[in-house]
């Protein structure tokens, strides 16, 4: 059965230069292993194609039941050079949560 991340986890986006930092926090601790297994770097790169142009790193935070995705070249060059309306990529949290696993 495929499920949308939105039902399993919540997310807040932060930014540093051209890097977008996306947390993925399981609502229920028992869903965390599923996130670890399915929400891989490769799967996120596929889901966010056209948005994230650079490397993606994933950090596991088992005590928090959370994953952290650090996505390089995700903000059109960063706030200064980006012509985007949401230059900080604050809304990318909800782009990640659209992913189905």
Q: Which residues bind other proteins (CB under 8 A)?
A: 6, 10, 12, 14-19, 21, 23, 25, 27, 47, 50-51, 59, 61, 63-66, 68, 70, 78-81, 83-86, 91-92, 95, 98
CB of 85 to other proteins, least distance (A): 5
Nearer to other proteins, 39 or 65 (CB): 65
CB of 1 to other proteins, least distance (A): 18
What whole-number distance in Å separates Cα of residue 37 and Cα of residue 52?
Answer: 21
Block residue for tokens 């599923």: 34
Phi, psi of 33 (to 5 degrees): -60, -35
CB of 31 to other proteins, least distance (A): 13
What whole-number distance in Å separates Cα of residue 92 and Cα of residue 101?
Answer: 18
Phi, psi of 43 (to 5 degrees): -65, -40
């Amino acid at each position: 059965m495929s499920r949308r991340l939105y039902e399993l986890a919540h997310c807040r986006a932060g930014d540093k230069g051209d890097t977008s930092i996306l947390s993925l926090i399981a609502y229920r601790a028992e869903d965390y292993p599923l996130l670890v297994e399915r929400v891989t770097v490769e799967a996120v790169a596929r889901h966010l194609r056209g948005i994230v142009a650079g490397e993606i790193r994933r950090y596991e935070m088992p005590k928090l039941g959370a994953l952290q995705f650090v996505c390089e070249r995700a903000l059109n060059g960063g706030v200064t050079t980006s012509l985007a309306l949401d230059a900080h990529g604050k809304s990318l949290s909800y782009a990640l949560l659209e992913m189905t696993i």
